[in-house]
């Protein structure tokens, strides 16, 4: 595998390094610690042979990356996507190192993925892919080593297959080694929708800090999947008008506000927001130009580039996706006075719920749903306060402040533990 720090094209890993370097300079952390954080702790690349339904053997490529595990075991999702590669997974793992630090969780950063198109796989092929991938990365997994969770194109069903495979390999129950599991095998009621809840908490905090009214405000959401779908309901319930929503196949717009329930029914039947009767047809790329107080990118990385930043019509961006804004776009948004709540803060609700699930599995007891919800909100509120306060202290953007908070916390842990031997 190529060195994840190498390469000519600017990509997700380059973006992480650029922001990490800026945070190191901003906070003045030890240069030795800075150098350590610029290289992932380990990058495992594996072949994933799968017998397809027609009998031929297809060999996919998968990865599991540990960026830094000083603060605790690796934590991060597994994604199945045609664009997955080592540099992207390394960037996402580094993002988890920083995200768990901002959220104050006792975890390090990890991430995994398989380069495949899950939409082209049958259910049986998807299960065999998951199980073989699990076998290949199993040496890295465990409740005190690395705890995977769902991510793009994976869900509770995939986590159940992973759990079962790992249990067969270990010869014992390993419920504490996986989060995002179905309720029937030790999952938690609060995991589904936790990322969306965290985004809403961060949006509330941003609107309060900026003196904006959330109720009656307009919102646009890019993506209507596991995060964007529930978020549309939450924003509407909070009194906002969700005026535009897009997905990979289309977009819909209604200045008076879209009906999230009706749109969800449409998507369940059609597989896309395109063609929704309750809104007008617009091109997915036009969503950025819809006037709104809030914009939530909830799809894949790099969607908000320089071109989009120059024509974005929203006043506040809350990043529900991982790495949706490029570094160059950050500068444009800052110059235009558009406030961005970064992903390592805004979408930390998911990993926080995963932490709660991990803790419950270790305790052998299920928390009450209202207890989990209250703890999730409180955790996100505390993280928001910390980042906004650091931004004011340093007189920098929220992203730079969030990276500063994270880097300082990780650096403190590395300094306390030292370097072995």
Catalytic amino acids?
Answer: 111
146, 175, 171, 147: which is closest to 160 by C-alpha?
Answer: 175
**Cβ(132)–Cβ(49) under 8 Å?**
yes
403: which residues sit within 8 A by CB, 6+ positions away? 19, 20, 22, 23, 26, 98, 342, 344
The string of DSSP letters for 95-117 reads HHHHHHHHTT-S-EEEEEEEES-
CA distance 213 to 395: 24
Residue 43, helix vs strand vs coil? strand
What residues are paired with 147 via a beta bridge?
Answer: 75
Quick one: DSSP state of residue 52?
Answer: -
Alpha helices in 171-282 (DSSP H): 194-210, 228-237, 260-270
Q: Does the CA dihedral 223-227-233-235 come out positive or negative?
A: negative
Q: Where are the beta strands (DSSP E) in 15-118?
A: 42-51, 57-68, 74-81, 108-115
Give how far the C-alpha of residue 292 lies from the chain's centroid of Cα atoms, to the nearest Å: 23
9: which residues sit within 8 A by CB, 6+ positions away? none
94 vs 116, 164, 185, 321, 403, CA distance in Å? 22, 28, 29, 15, 11
The Cα angle at residue 80 between residues 58 and 42, in degrees rounded to 5: 95
**Cβ(154)–Cβ(332) under 8 Å?**
no
């Amino acid at each position: 595998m190529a060195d994840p720090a190498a390469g000519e094209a600017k990509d997700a890993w380059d973006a992480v390094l650029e922001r990490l370097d800026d945070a190191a300079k901003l906070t003045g952390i030890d240069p030795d610690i800075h150098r350590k954080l610029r290289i992932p702790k380990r990058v495992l690349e594996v072949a994933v042979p799968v017998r397809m339904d027609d009998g031929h053997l297809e060999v996919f490529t998968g990865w599991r990356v540990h960026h830094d595990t000083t603060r605790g075991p690796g934590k991060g999702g597994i994604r199945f996507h045609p664009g997955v590669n080592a540099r992207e997974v390394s960037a996402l793992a580094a993002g988890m190192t920083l995200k768990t630090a901002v959220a104050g969780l006792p975890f390090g950063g990890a991430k995994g993925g398989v380069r495949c198109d899950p939409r082209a796989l049958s259910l049986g092929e998807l299960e065999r892919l998951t199980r073989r991938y699990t076998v290949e990365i199993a040496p890295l997994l465990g409740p005190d080593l690395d705890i995977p969770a769902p991510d793009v194109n994976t869900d509770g069903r995939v986590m159940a297959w992973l759990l079962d495979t790992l249990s067969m390999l270990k010869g014992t129950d390993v419920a504490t080694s996986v989060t995002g599991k179905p309720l029937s095998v030790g999952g938690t009621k609060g995991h589904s929708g936790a990322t969306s809840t965290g985004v809403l908490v961060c949006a509330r905090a941003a609107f309060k800090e900026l003196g904006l009214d959330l109720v009656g405000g307009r919102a646009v959401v890019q993506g209507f999947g596991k995060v964007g779908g529930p978020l549309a309901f939450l924003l509407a319930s909070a009194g906002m008008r969700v005026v535009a929503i897009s997905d990979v196949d289309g977009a819909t717009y209604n200045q008076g506000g879209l009906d999230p329930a009706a749109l969800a029914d449409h998507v369940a039947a059609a597989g896309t927001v395109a063609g929704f009767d309750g809104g007008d047809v617009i091109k997915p790329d036009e969503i950025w130009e819809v006037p709104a107080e809030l914009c939530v990118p909830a799809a894949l990385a790099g969607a908000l580039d320089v071109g989009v930043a120059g024509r974005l019509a929203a006043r506040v961006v809350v990043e529900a996706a991982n790495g949706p804004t490029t570094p160059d776009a950050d500068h444009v948004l800052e110059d235009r006075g558009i406030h961005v709540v970064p992903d390592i803060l805004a979408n930390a609700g998911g990993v926080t719920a995963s932490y709660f699930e991990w803790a419950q599995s270790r305790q052998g007891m299920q928390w009450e749903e209202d207890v989990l919800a209250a703890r999730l909100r409180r955790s996100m509120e505390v993280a928001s306060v910390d980042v906004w306060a650091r931004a004011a202290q340093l007189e920098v953007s929220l992203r730079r402040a969030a990276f500063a908070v994270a880097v300082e916390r990780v650096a403190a842990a590395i300094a306390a533990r030292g370097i072995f031997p």
